[in-house]
Copies of this chain bind each other. A is one copy, B any other.
């Protein structure tokens, strides 16, 4: 189903790669960026030199400065590919200009840092469009591989299944399978929490541990994520699916993963405040971990891995955090 008009807000690696996927399907794509200089530079060079060096941005993608009225006027779909820290502010700028028929699709994997709210609810409230016009997309989708065209799969979720299915048709390609899911809560909590578990596995890597330790952390991490989801009314099957297990594995095991890398740097003694500077990209887990711990605590929920990640972010040595985890009493597996 070609020929829709998409406005992708956010010129990071995933925003750029997703814009290219859409253009490949014959859609008109505006790639709107907060940094007008970078937008101009990308429009000329046809390359996102900072986040996807070497990838030629296809002709169907138009990089522009983020001028809300101009970029939203004709948009059928607004795609939000922003860091969680910028999400609510940009939504506020966009809100007055959102046409009544435009739907919003969030690609952001995190929570609103101050409130701990899921970003689909932030989008629905701040954009004033209601949850029925909002969807989220999440899965094991490293941008570097998507632009290479190797096979991948992802999940689009909305409280409105017709919207999820419409976006499924618009986004899917022969190399990117898209599954529709009605469990927005589950998909968003997976997307947020998996970055925190990836920090933990990065710490394990940084301490020189191996694949056995990482596999155990991933297993306990998915169990922790699933308990979190159940407490918030999510469908546990989502956590066993692509947006849960799939993205968790991709994030914890891949050399492309920034959150895994961030954990490695923490284990090496890099100060939390310096980690993103060293990586050169946002590592959402650093912001998500404390937000997640807060919302879990409000419900009396214990998240042992998330708590240790927060402790490391507050200065606990990585080796101590691992000792605490390893010394929990084992009796039966369940």
Our pick among B204, B247, B330, B334 for the contact of A237 (Cβ within 8 Å) is B334
* A–B complex contacts, Cβ < 8 Å, 29 sampled: A139-B216, A140-B212, A140-B215, A140-B219, A141-B212, A142-B210, A145-B210, A145-B211, A146-B212, A148-B210, A150-B209, A151-B212, A152-B212, A153-B212, A155-B333, A177-B216, A178-B330, A179-B330, A180-B332, A211-B256, A214-B250, A215-B247, A215-B250, A219-B242, A222-B245, A237-B334, A240-B240, A242-B333, A253-B253
Cβ-based interface call for A305 (8 A): no
From B211, B237, B326, B332, A181 is in contact (CB under 8 Å) with B332
Partner pick for A326 among B177, B209, B250, CB 8 A cutoff: B177
- In the complex, whether A321 has a CB less than 8 A from a CB of chain B is no
> A330-B179, A333-B155 are known contacts. Are A218 and B240 too (CB-CB below 8 A)?
no
Residues in chain B near residue A332, CB distance under 8 A = 179-181
Q: Which residues of B contact A242 (CB under 8 A)?
A: 215-216, 219, 333
Which residues of chain A from 134 to 170 have any CB-CB distance to chain B below 8 Å in the complex?
139-142, 144-146, 148, 150-153, 155, 168
Enumerate chain B residues within 8 angstroms of A140, measured Cβ to Cβ: 211-212, 215-216, 219
Residues on B with C-beta less than 8 A from A180 are 331-333
Contact B208 A150 (CB under 8 A): yes
Q: Is the CB of A246 within 8 A of B218?
A: yes
Return the chain B residue nearest A155 by Cβ: B333
How many whole Å from A162's CB to the nearest CB in chain B? 13
Q: Does A249 have its Cβ within 8 Å of any Cβ on chain B?
A: yes
Q: Is A300 an interface residue (CB 8 A)?
A: no
User: Is A26 an interface residue when CB atoms closer than 8 A count as contact?
Assistant: no
- Least CB distance, A157 to chain B, in whole angstroms: 9
In the complex, chain B residues whose CB is within 8 Å of the CB of A223: 240-241
- Asked if A215 contacts B246 (CB within 8 A), the reply is yes
Bound CA span A168–B151, Å: 42
Q: Is A45's CB within 8 Å of the partner chain B?
A: no
- Tell yes or no: A115 within 8 A of B by CB: no
Which B residues are CB-close (under 8 A) to A247? Answer: 215
Find the residue from A144, A153, A255, A322 having the highest chain B CB count within 10 A.
A153
**Closest Cβ neighbor of A144 among chain B residues:** B210
Contacting residues of chain A (158-209) with chain B, CB-CB under 8 angstroms: 168, 172, 174, 177-181, 204, 208-209
A254 interface hit (Cβ, 8 Å)? yes
CB distance from A82 to the nearest CB of B (A): 22
- Which 8 A-B residue pairs are closest in the complex by CB-CB distance? A140-B215, A152-B212, A215-B250, A145-B210, A179-B333, A211-B254, A219-B246, A153-B216
Partner of A250, one of B168, B181, B211: B211
State the Cβ distance, A331 to closest chain B Cβ, in Å: 7
Q: Does A270 contact B (CB under 8 A)?
A: no
Does residue A297 face the partner (Cβ distance < 8 Å to B)?
no
Decide: A174 and B142 in contact? CB cutoff 8 A: no
- Using A211-B256, A218-B246, A241-B333 as known contacts, list a sample of 4 further A-B pairs with CB atoms less than 8 Å apart, ordered by residue number in A: A152-B213, A214-B250, A222-B245, A237-B334
